[in-house]
Amino acid sequence: MKGEIGEVLISERRIKKRVKELAEEISRDYRGKSPLLVGVLRGAIVFLADLMRELTVPVEIDFMAISSYGQATKSSGVVRILKDLDEDIRSRHVLVVEDIVDTGLTLSYLLKSLEARHPASLQVCAFLNKKGKQRIPLEIKYLGFEIPDRFVVGYGLDFAQKYRYFPCIYALKPGIYREA
């Protein structure tokens, strides 16, 4: 294991169990509907792929890419759409699937942009939320786990594009971040 990887914060077993629970809740809430899952690239792909296979409602998927930290680990507050949706979301039930909410800046920007397109409904499913870090109040209807304020990798999340393939969530060792 690389010297920058710290301890396991969330094991594979806990992830599997929680994803199943979230999928049950979402399937119940969207019964009779065909929601569009909007995955936020690239971090959310592992979560979205696992979640959609546990759902019992007929979902469709689409993706957006927005600028994030680059190689740094601090939110810049500057958010840019790098890849927009391919689907028209007017009158669709949209569920944004996000990897992690930190300050909430990224998600709040994204939600504003999606809201302006008049979906029938718009909700958020986030895999992780950093406790006490939100600078913008956001409603995360479906949340996987609250985590402490550590920089985490694995299960889709990277550090300078590395470690996305890890099956569980690790904290990076403190002191190795390159801050913006």
The contact set with ligand 5GP (CB under 6 A) reads: 43, 68-69, 75, 99-107, 151-153, 157-159
Closest distance to ligand 5GP from the beta carbon of 40 (Å): 6
Closest distance to ligand 5GP from the beta carbon of 53 (Å): 22
Closest distance to ligand 5GP from the beta carbon of 94 (Å): 17
Per the residue annotation, which of 50, 84, 99, 102 is the catalytic one?
A: 102
Report the 3 state secondary structure along the chain.
CCCCEEEEEECHHHHHHHHHHHHHHHHHHCCCCCCEEEEEECCCHHHHHHHHHHCCCCCEEEEEEECCCCCCCCCCCCCCEEECCCCCCCCCEEEEEEEEECCCHHHHHHHHHHHCCCCCEEEEEEEEEECCCCCCCCCCCEEEEEECCCCEEECCECECCECCCCCCEEEECCCCCCCC
Q: Which is nearer to ligand 5GP, 19 or 152 (CB)?
A: 152
Q: Which is nearer to ligand 5GP, 57 or 65 (CB)?
A: 65
Q: Which is nearer to ligand 5GP, 106 or 123 (CB)?
A: 106
Closest distance to ligand 5GP from the beta carbon of 172 (Å): 8
Active site residue 84: no
Q: Which is nearer to ligand 5GP, 120 or 160 (CB)?
A: 160
Active-site residues, by number, are: 102
